[in-house]
Structure 1
Amino acid sequence: MFDIKAIRNDPDLFDASLKKRGEKPSSKKILQLDGERRKLIEELEKIKAERNSTSNLFGASKNKNNDVNLDELRQKISHQKINISKLEEKVRTVEESLYSILVNLPNVLNEEVPIGADERDNKEISKSGVIKDFGFQPLEHFEVNAAKHGLNFKDAATVSGSRFVFLSGAMALLHRALTQFMLNTHINDNSLEEFWSPILVKESSMIGTGQLPKFEHDSYKTSEGLWLIPTAEVPLTNIGRNKIYDASELPKRMTSATQCFRSEAGSAGKDTTGIIRQHQFEKVEMVTYCIFEEGLKELERMTDCAEKILKKLKIPYRKILLCSGDTGFGAKKTYDIEVWLPGQNAYREISSCSLCGDFQSRRINIRYKEQRDSKPEFVSTLNGSGLAVGRCLVAVIENYQNANGSIEIPETLRPYTMNYSEIDENGVLK
């Protein structure tokens, strides 16, 4: 959520950030409701103090023979209780109105984020790797013979519908190998702590990370009220709910491989063939809590962790700084990693690494203390894909395809594929 004090101190800055995202200014309505709430709370506390004073007088007078009219005191206390109840209801109403505005507003952008409307205004930061000259027309992943034997869309459509797939044989092995390779790299090289995470979470957890209420249409909800996670960002970030960490425990860097679920409600007609955009997919996620001032430094580190996977796989990619109009709802600043797909002759997103500042930690109440007796402060949270496994499988298929329809297995993956080095044109491991 937001620091109301910061909005009070500089409402123009808050509105300027909203404007960069194409949103309407909201500080005037927020501060109006905030003023009403503070006034009502002040009045409520005053009446409660009067009620306490009257109750004390009533209690003391019951034990004494004096001229105090106990019936009048009883009546006064009764009226005070009624007034307190009415004021409490008014406070709740105003707070609900204030919350309904704040919970639907995106994070305040970092000053380094370029202004722009959409992905066309994003800024390329760097490129890595050499784009291969195949000497033939490279195919898309679902056209390569070696892959076609292990990508079963027909049976998946029968069982589950569109945007699902069965992976079998060499494709299932390669997918599993990528997951294990990513996790081992993050644990051993990047010093992240591995977690095995729930994939069903409470609604409060989805609200905490900003998926709800904004993106309810893109998520799956069970009949029991639990939600299927769209990313392991949700459970990992909520681990810190209502906790106060010692500063010496930070940064807390985590990783988890999970199944993820998205309805892709706004993606009709996009990537309808292949496994680029699925309702169910696997992703290795990274989440960090850190001291607030170290957020930007941790963002660079997290992005480097994601890049390291592609460097080890020797697959070309580029690093993109998202503009204001393309930066996600909960993010202050985001880098996208886009992998080169020769079959599409295009770069496609394979990771987003985002600094969220205190946007999520205020919703979830994740704090830390510099000293034992110091005031708790909100942590900065960060999240990033490290990487989307299915899209990485696509990248391996397309970048390591051969003219005869076979696929070379990247050398760095071979310890995870029982030392097989190739998938032939018939889908057989060699």
Structure 2
Amino acid sequence: MHDIRAIRENPAAFDAAMARRGVENASSSLLEIDEARRAAIHAAETAQADQKAAAKQVGAAKAKGDEAEFERLRALVGEKKAEVSDMQARAKELDQQLTDALMSIPNLPYDDVPEGADEDDNVEIRRWGTPRSFDFTPKEHYDLAGVADGMDFETAAKLSGSRFVVLSGAVARIHRALAQFMVDTHVEENGLTETWTPVLVKEEMMYGTGQLPKFGEDSYQTTNGWWLVPTSEVTLTNIVNGMTVAESYLPRRYVAHSQCFRSEAGSAGRDTAGMLRQHQFEKVEMVSVTHPEKSRDELDRMTGCAQGILERLGLPYRTVVLCTGDMGFGARRTHDIEVWLPGQDSYREISSVSVCGDFQARRMNARMKPADGGKPEFLHTLNGSGLAVGRTLIAVLENGQQADGSVTLPEVLHPYLRGKTTLSADGALV
């Protein structure tokens, strides 16, 4: 959420930044509501002062025996009381309108975010690994012989509908091993704190990280009002919701492996084959809560953590900076990491790491008290996948595939698979 005072002080700068995100004249309607809200507050304060002054005069008029003046003043007190009530209600209504409007506007991009309309305008900043050359035509993950018995979309459709999968046997075990490897690496090598959080959250938690009010259709709400998390970013970031923490408390770096749920409302018809885009999936999520002056450095550190997982798995990838037109709602700058999928002959997103500045902290009212005793200021938050487990499974299967349909598995997974090194063509770990 944005600071209305900053918009009021420099609307031109705000409009210029929002124009980069495709939002024109963003300040005008906000300032119109703000002006009406401030006028209502002023009117309420003025009427309240008039009410108090008239109330004092009522007693004096009564003492003088001036009945006409006494009745006039009593009526004036009643009028001013009603006016105060009306203006306070109006101010409250306008304050909610302003809050709703501010919550529906995307974050300001950093100046170094590239201009652009869509993913075609993203800028590559790193590339690692060389895509493997095959002496056969590589298949997509769901067509591999060794995967057939362990990745069941038909049963999942019977149970739940489209965009679900039932994993079993060796494929399920590799999926679990990947998640364990990711969490262990982030905890033991990257210094993150392993965390386990609920997947059902209160509505205000979804507001805190920006999923609501604008993107409610992309998530699932239960009949009793809870929301299923689209990622554990929601729970991990909201740990500091409503808190004012000491500067020494920071940084806080969390990692959680969780189930995630997305309706994929805006992706109809996209990636319907296989398990690239599912309604229910698993992610290992990273969240950092930092000092405002250190969040940009933290973005690079978190990006490196996600890249390191792919490098340990031997999976070629590239990292791009998202342009203004492709960046997420709450981000000021985003690094997408795209893994090479030989079955698609393309790079596909496997992690998105974003710095949000104080955008989420304002929504959550999360602040830091400086060590020098200065005025508390809003924290900065960051989030990123470290990694999407299902997509990593796809990448491992496709990059390690052999001509006979078996899959050679990354060495770092062998300890998690009791020394097994290969998914055989008949679906067994050997």
Matched residues in 1 for 2:141 and 2:197: separation?
30
Q: CA deviation at 1:56?
A: 6.0
1:370 partner amino acid: P
Matched residues in 2 for 1:55 and 1:192: separation?
62
> Please, which moves more after superposition, 308-317 or 78-87?
78-87
Matched residues in 2 for 1:365 and 1:266: separation?
30
Match of 1:121 in 2: 121
1:88 partner amino acid: Q
Q: What are structure 2's unaligned runs of at least 5 residues?
A: none
Matches within 5 A, 1:410-425: 410-425=410-425
Residue 244 (structure 2) pairs with residue 238 (structure 1):
no
Query: TM-score normalised to the size of structure 1?
Result: 0.95
2:186 partner amino acid: H
Matched residues in 1 for 2:25 and 2:195: separation?
40
Match of 2:6 in 1: 6
Matched residues in 2 for 1:382 and 1:56: separation?
55
Matched residues in 1 for 2:29 and 2:187: separation?
47
Q: 1:341-377 CA distances to partner (integer Å, 9 max, x unpaired)? A: 0111100000000011111110111100113742110
Match of 2:380 in 1: 380
Is the contact made by 2:199 and 2:229 (CA closer than 8 Å) also made in structure 1?
Answer: yes
Residue 91 (structure 2) pairs with residue 91 (structure 1):
yes
Q: 1:291 to 1:418 in 2, by over 3 A?
A: same
Matches within 5 A, 1:311-350: 311-350=311-350
Matched residues in 2 for 1:52 and 1:312: separation?
73
Q: What are structure 1's unaligned runs of at least 5 residues?
A: none
Q: 1:129-162 CA distances to partner (integer Å, 9 max, x unpaired)? A: 1211232221111111111120011111111111
1:249 partner amino acid: Y
Matched residues in 2 for 1:31 and 1:406: separation?
62
Secondary structure in 2 matching 1:352: strand
Q: 1:15-57 CA distances to partner (integer Å, 9 max, x unpaired)? A: 1222212222221221122122222212222333343455567
Matches within 5 A, 1:52-63: 52-55=52-55
Q: 1:52 to 1:372 in 2, by over 3 A?
A: farther
Matched residues in 2 for 1:53 and 1:378: separation?
40
Q: CA deviation at 1:83?
A: 0.8
1:300 partner amino acid: D
Match of 2:79 in 1: 79
2:104 partner amino acid: N
What's the C-alpha RMSD, in Å, of the aligned pairs?
1.8
Match of 2:130 in 1: 130
Secondary structure in 2 matching 1:401: coil
2:276 partner amino acid: I
Matched residues in 2 for 1:372 and 1:366: separation?
19
Matched residues in 2 for 1:245 and 1:56: separation?
45
Match of 2:366 in 1: 366
Q: CA deviation at 1:74?
A: 4.2
Matched residues in 2 for 1:45 and 1:189: separation?
58
Secondary structure in 1 matching 2:384: strand
Match of 1:164 in 2: 164
Is the contact made by 2:44 and 2:85 (CA closer than 8 Å) also made in structure 1?
Answer: no
Secondary structure in 2 matching 1:146: coil
Match of 2:294 in 1: 294
> Please, which moves more after superposition, 221-230 or 40-49?
40-49
1:159 partner amino acid: L
Matched residues in 2 for 1:55 and 1:353: separation?
60
Match of 1:17 in 2: 17
Q: CA deviation at 1:73?
A: 5.1
Q: 1:224-272 CA distances to partner (integer Å, 9 max, x unpaired)? A: 1111111111111111111001011111111111111111122222111
Match of 1:155 in 2: 155
Matched residues in 2 for 1:411 and 1:101: separation?
51
Matched residues in 1 for 2:230 and 2:263: separation?
9
Matched residues in 2 for 1:312 and 1:218: separation?
33
Is the contact made by 2:248 and 2:371 (CA closer than 8 Å) also made in structure 1?
Answer: no
Matched residues in 1 for 2:53 and 2:283: separation?
60
Q: 1:257 to 1:68 in 2, by over 3 A?
A: farther
Match of 2:104 in 1: 104
Query: TM-score normalised to the size of structure 2?
Result: 0.95
Matched residues in 2 for 1:269 and 1:252: separation?
39
